[in-house]
Amino acid sequence: MSDLPFHKRVPTRVRGLLLLGMGLVISYFAIWRPLTAVERGDSEVWLSHAGIGLGSILTVFGAAFVLIGPGFERLLESGKPDPKNLSFGSILFIAPFVLLSAGVYIWVRMRLTQMGFEF
DSSP letters, 67-95, are HHTHHHHHHHHHT---TTS--HHHHHHHH
DSSP 8-state secondary structure symbol assigned to residue 32: I
In this predicted structure, what is the pLDDT of residue 39?
Answer: 87
In this predicted structure, what is the pLDDT of residue 14?
Answer: 93
Q: pTM for the complete prediction?
A: 0.79
DSSP 8-state secondary structure symbol assigned to residue 29: I
CA dihedral defined by 12, 18, 78, 68, rounded to 10 degrees? 60
Q: What does the pLDDT profile of the chain (119 residues) look like in tens digits?
A: 567 777 677 888 999 999 999 999 999 999 999 999 988 888 888 889 899 999 999 999 899 899 998 888 887 777 666 677 777 777 777 788 889 999 999 999 999 889 888 77
Closest residue by Cα to residue 53 from 109, 116, 91, 118: 109
Neighbour-count burial for 51-77, b at 16+ CB within 10 Å, e otherwise: bbbbbbbbbbbbbbbbeeeeebbeeee
Closest residue by Cα to residue 16 from 58, 66, 73, 60: 66
Q: What residue spans define the domains of the chain?
A: 6-114
